[in-house]
Amino acid sequence: MNVRHRVAAFARETRGAEVLEFALVLPLFLFLAAGIIDMGFLFNNYQTLTNAAREGARVAIVPGATDTDIRDRVKQYLQADGMNPGSVTTTITPVQIVLASGLVNGVKISVAYPYNYMVLGPLAHMVQSPNTFGTLTITAAATMRTELAAGL
């Protein structure tokens, strides 16, 4: 058997092809699964942040509420979901809301939180230096009109 026939026979051999295909596809599949999981956690944190901003706005519209009360409520909400309340930035802004009947006073609560990618960040750090992918600041805001005390 000459060399040409041996090469042709080797090319037709399919033993181990599945293992080779699996070895090539597995890293891509794991990276895709890690991305899906990371985006799921990111979306969960965004939803929690949105709810925390709304809770802060609910406290802010009540007469007599202080900035400390608002920030404490936002931190309590985040802590209840397992997020780090020390990393949150809460901004309280008085606003004018335009209605058909005129202007009313309101308050806008903006909440910012740094999200660290659990899997994609470390993977990107292994490939890319300096790492510009590890952290993302997610923000959410809620605006509500202020209430007046009864009898005013």
- Structural domain spans, the chain: 18-145
Of 132, 95, 139, nearest in space to 115 by CA: 139
Mean pLDDT along residues 101-120: 88
Q: Are 114 and 136 in contact (CB under 8 A)?
A: yes
What the block records as the tokens of 31 is 């990276």
pLDDT band at 63 (very low <50, low <70, confident <90, very high): confident
Q: Are 111 and 54 in contact (CB under 8 A)?
A: no
Q: What is the pLDDT of residue 35?
A: 87
pLDDT band at 76 (very low <50, low <70, confident <90, very high): very high
Among residues of the chain, what percentage have pLDDT more than 90?
47
What the block records as the tokens of 68 is 């400390």
What the block records as the tokens of 129 is 């230096």
Mean pLDDT along residues 105-115: 94
Q: Cis peptide leading into 130, omega within 30 of 0?
A: yes
Query: What pTM, to 2 d.p., does this model score?
Result: 0.77
User: Long-range contacts: 34-38, Cβ < 8 Å, 24+?
Assistant: 34/119, 34/120, 34/123, 35/119, 35/120, 37/118, 37/119, 38/117, 38/118, 38/119, 38/120
Q: Are 22 and 110 in contact (CB under 8 A)?
A: no
